[in-house]
């Protein structure tokens, strides 16, 4: 699995995870590399999410259906993001979320059981497991902050800053759902930004 990643990505990943390079190689030893095409489902939902993913290159959206069967995009994640339903990962309960690939993408993932194998092998990995929990919490907190403190235009700008190339490839209906607005409102935001207003 390690050979699938460039030295630059490995260095960035080691920093993000707080791992020295030799430990990163050990971690990557339990990971599985995967490529999926646009619109494929990473996870179909309504079952236990027993793995966590890292996006090497690409984009995914996490969505759910309301009681009225309306589809809501909850998260849009791009290069360098971890994703998965962490609540389902730690509790073993079924997930309400479905995860879909937005553009041709490359990932790696690790399962709960493979992570526990590392933890049982050496105490060092217990702290790492805690770091993964911290990252999942911070991602969730960031999404809550976006919804509470930023208007849709600022949320769009934040997403655009993170990865402008991929954002341009995501269909407008998914972007607008993520931002909590109609596709027409998103069009107005884009036109306003393009005009420099």
Judge whether residue 1 has pLDDT over 70: no
Q: For 57-83, how does the pLDDT look when each residue is reduced to its tens digit (9 = 90+)?
A: 899 999 998 888 888 888 888 888 889
Distance CA 166, CA 177 (A): 17
- Determine the Cα–Cα distance for residues 123 and 110; give it in Å rounded to an integer: 18
CA 61/CA 102 separation, integer angstroms: 7
pLDDT at 97 (0 to 100): 93
Q: Which residues of 81-111 are buried (b: 16+ CB within 10 A; e: fewer)?
A: bbbbbbebbeeeeebebbbbbbbebbbbbbe
Question: Would the pLDDT of 17 be above 70?
Answer: yes
DSSP state of 93: P
pLDDT tops 90 at residue 162? no
For the stretch 91-112, pLDDT in tens is 999 999 999 999 999 999 999 9
Highest mean pLDDT among 12-21, 97-106, 127-136: 97-106
Structure confidence by residue, pLDDT tens digits, 35-61: 999 999 998 878 999 999 999 889 999
H helix runs in 29-97, sequence order: 86-91
Burial of 150 (0-12, 13-18, 19+ CB in 10 A): middle
Give pTM, 2 decimals: 0.85
> How do the residues of the chain divide into helix, strand and coil, expressed in percent and rounded to 5?
50, 25, 25
């Amino acid at each position: 699995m390690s050979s699938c990643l460039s030295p630059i990505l490995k260095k960035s990943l080691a920093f993000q995870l707080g791992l020295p390079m030799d430990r990163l190689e050990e971690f990557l030893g339990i990971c599985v590399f995967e490529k999926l095409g646009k619109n494929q489902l990473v996870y179909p939902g309504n079952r236990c999410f027993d793995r966590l993913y890292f996006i090497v290159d690409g984009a995914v959206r996490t969505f759910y259906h309301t009681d009225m069967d309306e589809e809501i995009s909850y998260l849009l994640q791009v290069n360098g993001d971890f994703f998965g339903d962490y609540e389902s990962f730690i509790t073993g309960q079924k997930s309400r979320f479905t995860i879909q690939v937005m553009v041709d993408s490359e990932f790696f993932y690790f399962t709960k059981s493979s992570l526990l194998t590392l933890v049982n092998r050496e105490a060092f990995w217990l702290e790492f497991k805690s770091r993964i929990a911290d990252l999942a919490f911070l991602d969730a907190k960031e999404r809550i902050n976006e919804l509470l403190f930023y208007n849709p235009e600022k949320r769009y700008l934040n997403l655009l800053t993170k990865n402008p190339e991929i954002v341009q490839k995501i269909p407008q209906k998914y972007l607008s759902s993520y931002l909590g607005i109609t596709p027409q409102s998103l069009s107005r935001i884009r036109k306003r930004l393009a005009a420099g207003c």
